[in-house]
Amino acid sequence: MLIGVPKEIKNHEYRVGLTPASVRELTAHGHQVLVQTDAGTAIDLTDAQYVAAGAEMVATAAEIFARAEMIVKVKEPQPVECAMLRPGQILYTYLHLAPDPEQTKALVKSGAICIAYETITGPGGGLPLLAPMSEVAGRMAVQAGATYLEKAHGGRGLLLGGVPGVQPGHVAIIGAGVVGTNALQMAVGLGARVTVLDKNVDRLRQLDLVFGNRISTIYSTASAIEEAVLDADLVVGGVLVPGAAAPKLVTRAHVARMKKGAVLVDVAIDQGGCFETSHATTHAEPVYMVDGVVHYCVANMPGAVARTSTFALNNATIGHALALAEKGWKQALKDNPHLLHGLNVCQGQVTYEAVAHDLGYEFVDPAGLLG
């Protein structure tokens, strides 16, 4: 198969779809890989490294989209990229379609086979291609929150861990999945007072066994969320409904009553956000204020630590990329029901039920398209 890797063009996005090591895996199996010039230069992955791994360097994204049978990216295609997709071409990347009707419309129009990292499942449950970026984003959420609690950045002027004789800050984490667990690890490490909320009591029990009295575990209800948010200095939103828009768990009324200079970090923003006052921001302008509360809602948080993120992501994505290249998309999806769950749009049809439901499309069972 001829596989193409364009340079990412989203604001401050420096990750790259394939590392030189991943290219070598594909070329060693007889596949050809096109990589856009300077695709990985920003994170010290040079064109020479790609050539040594067997890639052909190509000057423009247009040529890659025109030639490649499969496009491997990191972030969802931007409008100019959607316009270059063609019927039958495989797109393998993060999509996050539920809160993005324009992208969904463009992908349906393209006729491409669009496989989303974030809905591919794993044999033991979970979302293994989303997990590495959730780990990064969860850890970054506390870093970012600590920074924006500084007075110069609009925050309360508070050191999360406090100092001897001074009370530490309070971090409320909504969601005890991968994001929430990594956020609480960072918050506990800094010495903050941590409350984590979730509806899965078994998960809360597991966290209690690990962290003991260093954290408070609370069953998530509307009342519990309200109480935690109003007391918190930093709130991390790590809620996920696979493939669907995130529920709005923190309301505008909650935000109006929060401490002035408190910080909200909405890691669920790729799926529309779990705070009612959230809207997506970029690394160029990461924050805004609502009712005196700092909102950090960057839609590609792991892009800030792009080298770490690229290697972590490739560890998770290369296996399926190789399967798609070796077998073609139909056979690869027939053979692996977990990969089949990643098929969101196929040949003009919406094939992921949560996306179809949220955006008003007819859901088409993907199994019926495999022949």
pLDDT of residue 318: 98
Q: What is the mean pLDDT of the chain?
A: 97
- Indicate if the pLDDT at residue 241 is higher than 90: no
Q: Is 96 a catalytic residue?
A: yes
Query: Which of 358, 351, 345, 268 is closest to 104 using CA atoms?
Result: 345
Average pLDDT over residues 198-223: 97
pLDDT of residue 245: 87
Average pLDDT over residues 27-46: 98
- Indicate if the pLDDT at residue 212 is higher than 90: yes
Average pLDDT over residues 203-219: 97
pLDDT in tens, 99-117: 999 999 999 999 999 999 9
Average pLDDT over residues 124-144: 94
pLDDT of residue 266: 98
Catalytic: which of 31, 96, 170, 295?
96
Q: Is 279 a catalytic residue?
A: no
Average pLDDT over residues 92-102: 96
- For residues 137 and 186, what is the distance between their CA atoms, to the nearest angstrom? 11
pLDDT of residue 13: 93
- Indicate if the pLDDT at residue 36 is higher than 90: yes
Q: What does the DSSP assignment read for 7-75?
A: PP-STT----S--HHHHHHHHHTT-EEEEETTSSGGGT--HHHHHHTTPEEES-HHHHHHH-SEEE-SS
- Indicate if the pLDDT at residue 243 is higher than 90: no
Catalytic: which of 233, 266, 270, 358?
270
